[in-house]
Chains A and B, each alone.
Chain A
Amino acid sequence: MAPALAFAGSVSMRGHGLFPPVNIHVPAGRWTCLLGASGVGKTTLLKLIAGLEATARHDGTITASDALPLTGRIALMAQSDLLMPWLSAIDNVLLGARLRGEKADRARARDVLARVGLSAHEDKRSDTLSGGERQRVALARTLMEDRAVVLLDEPFSALDARTRAEMQSLAARLLAGRTVLMVTHDPGEAVRMGDQVLLLTAQGCSAIELPDSPPPRAVDDEGALKAQGALLSRLMALT
């Protein structure tokens, strides 16, 4: 069972405050989207949860609802696909096992690649794949890790509109049941994907009102489009 996450406290970098004390609750097994102006510290927040950020100073706590440590329960997927160009698609999916010195479960890796629709490309070197295919391999690698908490840092922002929408639907289906926190710049993406959408600013963090329909919402969902417009207006009003 995936845990909920709670991030409390403020974050500063080299003595410069990024955002004031906030209480961010990421509900268990749900999809939370985090938006905000550039430089407000969204990626920093994600890295802090992943246990990576060393330069930022966090005064507060990061806890899981089951009170167990988060180490080893998180998977990360970034804007750049971070595939190793010298490895084939399937070996990229098996990277985690290789890095931990575990036995590579090729059958499961094949199955995961099939679920993202890349069976035909298993043995291709990742630098011969298209941008969309590469991001699918990255999604397969994330699924292969099979972690309860998934952190996504603008994973689809480099894709064209159609591929992005397809990837969103695929990710929503395949990551269902996990606790997902996704940083995004795209109000449309946030409103389409989120069970919860949060807006992080230098003043604090606030929730955005969403339509009643469950995510992933249809790309032409009227309520979602309206919410997207309202969210974009709020983003534009930020100084």
Chain B
Amino acid sequence: MIRAWRQAALSTMVALLLWQALVTLTGLPRFILPGPGLVAETLWESRALIAENAVITIIEILVGLGLGALLGGITAIGLAASPFARNLIRPMMVFSQAIPVFALAPILTLWLGYGLASKIAMALLIIYFPVTSAFFDALMRCPRGWLDLAQVMGASPRRIMWHIRVPAALPGFASGLRLAAVYAPIGAIIGEWVGASKGLGYLMLLANGRAKTDLMFAALIVLAIFTLILHASVDRACRKWLD
């Protein structure tokens, strides 16, 4: 554990040094590539502004993740339980995956407005398919022997689903959630780019337009750190309860 931390710290140091070396050696102006020192300074000076916008983005991500996981979970169980639903809905799901989710962002903004809802919907949409598909595949791969045993024991399909197929498929659900933890921030940021008045994505776009590249980098770093923390937390939770 300590070793892993030491390695992470070392590689961060090296990355920062390379970044600073690039800035110093090329002499690029600060509005093209600000150095790590300047970004850190801006991060501190604009902490209130960044925090205010980060809270919005984090809410969008967490709500989108929660709703996406819930809806994905329910869909997967529904599809696994009913061959009729499978035949009806799976072609639709596959078709929906052929539509780039990014292309839907403007229409979601049109429908749901500039507030949180359109960003939450975007995050939800982007994680819905990976969660559903990972969980559904795991539900369908339930070992034959367990199902046979349950049938001989006189279990109803509903109880087999609840007591055997779902618990056996939870590791699959967990791998869907791990992916979702990385995708959900992408969805929220795209939503903000298309139309928002708050949030880290909005702030980045604003800073970029005004050549405040240091602020853009600061917001980006906050987003990246949050995504890392989110992924690590989801991973830990999955290990504890689902794997």
A complexed with B: yes
Query: B21 an interface residue at 8 Å Cβ cutoff?
Result: no
> Which of A71, A75, A99 is in CB contact (< 8 Å) with B160?
A99
Stretch at the interface among B74-82, B141-149, B180-188: B141-149
Interface size on B, residues (CB 8 A): 19
> Which residue on chain A has the smallest CB distance to residue B167?
A86
Q: Does B117 contact A (CB under 8 A)?
A: no
B167→A76 contact, CB < 8 A: no
Is B148 a contact partner of A99 (Cβ separation < 8 A)?
no
- Contact stretch, chosen from B45-53, B83-91, B150-158, B231-239: B150-158
A52 contacts B146, C-beta separation under 8 Å: no
Q: Which of B127-184 contact A (CB under 8 A)?
A: 143, 145-146, 148-156, 159-160, 163-164, 167-168, 170
Residues A100 and B154 in contact in the complex (CB < 8 Å), given A84-B164, A84-B167, A86-B167: yes
Please state if A99 and B145 are interface contacts (CB–CB under 8 Å).
no
Closest to A81 in B: B145
Chain A contact-residue range equals 20 to 34
Whether B149 contacts A78 by the Cβ 8 Å rule is yes
A78, B148: Cα distance in complex, Å? 10
The reply to whether B149 and A100 contact each other, CB–CB distance below 8 Å, is: no
A76 partner, pick from B143, B149, B160, B168, beta carbons under 8 A: B149
A74 at the interface (CB under 8 A from B): yes
Which residues 42-93 of A have a CB within 8 angstroms of B? 47, 50-52, 71-72, 74-76, 78, 80, 82, 84, 86
Is the pair B152, A99 in contact by a Cβ cutoff of 8 Å? no
Do the beta carbons of B159 and A52 come within 8 Å of each other? no
Residues of the B chain whose Cβ atoms lie less than 8 Å from the Cβ of A75: 152
**Chain A proximity of B181: nearest CB distance (Å):** 23
Take A78-B145, A80-B145, A82-B145 as given contacts and tell me if A99 and B167 are in contact as well, using a CB distance cutoff of 8 Å. no
B145 with A100: CB separation less than 8 A: no
Check A145 against B153 for contact (C-beta < 8 Å): yes
Chain A residues, CB < 8 A from B153: 95-96, 99-100, 145
Question: In the complex, which of the residues B145, B149, B151, B163 contacts A98, with contact meaning CB atoms closer than 8 Å?
Answer: B163
A50:B148 contact, CB within 8 angstroms? yes
Q: Which residues of B contact A86 (CB under 8 A)?
A: 167-168, 170
- Closest Cβ of chain B to A101, distance in Å, is 6
Separation in Å of the A179 CB from the closest CB of chain B?
15
Of A74, A78, A99, A145, which contacts B163 at CB under 8 A?
A99
Closest A-chain residue to B153, C-beta based?
A96
Q: Is A99's CB under 8 angstroms from B155's CB?
A: yes
B167 touches A74 (CB 8 A): no
- Specify which chain A residues have a CB less than 8 angstroms from the CB of B145 in the assembled complex: 78, 80, 82
Query: Which residue, B148, B156, B170, has most C-beta atoms of chain A within 10 A?
Result: B148
Query: Do A99 and B146 touch across chains, with their CB atoms under 8 A apart?
Result: no
Proximity string of chain B (39-68) to chain A, C-beta cutoff 8 Å, 1 when within and 0 when not: 000000000000000000000000000000
Closest chain B CB from A43 CB (angstroms): 11
A101 touching B159, Cβ below 8 Å: yes
Contacts beyond the supplied A82-B143, A82-B149, A99-B153: 16 A-B pairs with Cβ under 8 Å? A50-B152, A51-B152, A52-B152, A75-B152, A76-B149, A78-B145, A78-B149, A82-B145, A84-B146, A84-B168, A86-B170, A95-B153, A95-B163, A96-B153, A98-B159, A99-B155
- For the complex of A and B, 3 pairs with smallest distance between CB atoms: A99-B155, A96-B153, A76-B152
Q: Which residues of B contact A (CB under 8 A)?
A: 143, 145-146, 148-156, 159-160, 163-164, 167-168, 170
Q: List 22 A-B contacts (CB under 8 A).
A: A50-B148, A50-B152, A51-B151, A51-B152, A52-B152, A74-B152, A76-B149, A76-B152, A78-B145, A78-B149, A82-B149, A84-B167, A84-B168, A86-B167, A86-B168, A96-B153, A96-B154, A99-B150, A99-B160, A99-B163, A100-B155, A145-B153
